[in-house]
């Protein structure tokens, strides 16, 4: 079975819109809530609706009798832990590259663990699990799966990365910063999808990489690292007081290096698999 384009285009936006509409009365019921808190409640409700309806969507449009396995969420525990750990290590390596570049250039000062309070640690962990799981379930789980049933493999891979990049608020960073952030998001989307492919469809590697980047960068900014106000956009990334390093040169280099390393390993594996000549 294959889904229809109209269903693919409307499914998640309709769920998000429904969640957004349902929570609007909260602003009147609880005037003390900030607009961002109301929006967060809408996003959480949309995620709940997604979790409730995804099995139905996959059975109806994909013909899958085991939807959570098809999405890569359910797998043997050792495989899940190994995949998640590999993704998290990649995130730590990318963040370490950014931190070293900032420290070496004099654009940041290392504070250490004393600069981070207990609540901020919990916040970082919640971001690793919450943002990583929610966004990967949508983009590398559902969306990429739908596109693979509608398109050839390579266009599906590229399109999921492009959509992932475009739906993030990259345009708020100005022209130069927006281009940098958009390119970094595309590179990240490719890395996340290929990591899932390498892990034989298990989604927890992308969750570890994506969540690790978001939660790790939050922890660094919350107290582990003091970023200098004059840190250049090309190094720290666009975003002003809240920069996103994947939009800077170091982020591009790190994400590009992961893609290049994967391609090199794949080439080495193919060469080793070739039959040896006797002549």
Rounded to 10 degrees, what is the CA torsion of 169, 170, 172, 176? 180
> Residue 261 in 3-state DSSP?
helix
Q: Are residues 53 and 125 in the same domain?
A: no
pLDDT for residue 274 is more than 90:
no
Cα separation values, 41 from 23, 27, 50, 134, 138, Å: 7, 11, 14, 14, 18
Assigned domain for 97 exists: yes
Q: Are residues 63 and 80 in the same domain?
A: no
When pLDDT is cut at 50, 70 and 90, the band that residue 257 belongs to is very high
Q: What pLDDT is stored for residue 279 in this prediction?
A: 43
Q: Where in the sequence is the domain holding 226, given as residue range(s)?
A: 75-273
Distance CA 129, CA 132 (A): 5
Q: Are residues 123 and 194 in the same domain?
A: yes
Distance CA 136, CA 195 (A): 12
Model pLDDT for residues 131-150, shown as the tens digit of each residue: 999 999 999 999 999 999 99
Q: Are residues 109 and 14 in the same domain?
A: no
Assigned domain for 179 exists: yes
Task: Say how many domains are in the chain.
Answer: 2
| Residue where a domain stops, chosen among 18, 40, 70 | 70
Which residue reads 């475009």 in tokens?
166
Assigned domain for 176 exists: yes
Q: Are residues 226 and 95 in the same domain?
A: yes
Assigned domain for 279 exists: no
Assigned domain for 278 exists: no
> Which contacts (CB < 8 Å, 24+ apart) does range 246-251 have?
246/181, 246/184, 246/185, 246/187, 246/188, 246/213, 247/170, 247/173, 247/177, 247/180, 247/181, 247/182, 247/183, 247/184, 247/185, 248/98, 248/180, 248/184, 250/97, 250/98, 250/101, 251/94, 251/98, 251/184
Model pLDDT for residues 78-115, shown as the tens digit of each residue: 999 999 999 999 999 999 999 999 999 999 999 988 77
Q: Are residues 62 and 185 in the same domain?
A: no
């Amino acid at each position: 079975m294959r889904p229809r384009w109209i269903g693919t285009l409307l499914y998640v936006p309709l769920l998000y819109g429904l969640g957004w509409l349902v929570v609007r009365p909260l602003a009147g019921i609880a005037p003390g809530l900030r607009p961002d808190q109301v929006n967060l409640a809408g996003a959480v409700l949309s995620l709940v609706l997604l979790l409730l309806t995804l099995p139905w969507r996959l059975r109806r449009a994909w013909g899958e009798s085991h939807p959570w396995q098809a999405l890569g969420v359910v797998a043997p525990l050792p495989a899940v832990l190994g995949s998640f750990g590999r993704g998290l290590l990649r995130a730590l390596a990318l963040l370490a590259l950014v931190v070293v570049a900032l420290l070496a250039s004099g654009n940041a000062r290392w504070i250490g663990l004393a600069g981070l309070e207990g609540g901020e640690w919990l916040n970082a962990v919640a971001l690793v699990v919450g943002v990583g799981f929610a966004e990967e379930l949508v983009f590398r789980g559902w969306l990429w799966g739908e596109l693979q049933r509608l398109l050839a493999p390579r266009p599906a891979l590229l399109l999921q990365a492009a959509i992932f990049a475009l739906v993030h608020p990259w345009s708020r960073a100005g022209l130069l910063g927006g281009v940098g952030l958009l390119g970094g998001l595309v590179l990240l989307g490719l890395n996340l999808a290929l990591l899932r492919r390498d892990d034989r469809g298990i989604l927890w590697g992308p969750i570890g990489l994506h969540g690790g980047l978001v939660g790790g960068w939050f922890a660094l900014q919350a107290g582990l690292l003091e970023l200098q106000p004059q840190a250049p956009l090309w190094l720290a990334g666009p975003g002003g007081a809240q920069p996103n390093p994947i939009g800077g040169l170091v982020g591009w280099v790190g994400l590009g290096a992961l893609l290049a390393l994967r391609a090199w390993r794949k080439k080495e594996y193919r060469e080793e698999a070739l039959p040896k000549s006797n002549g």
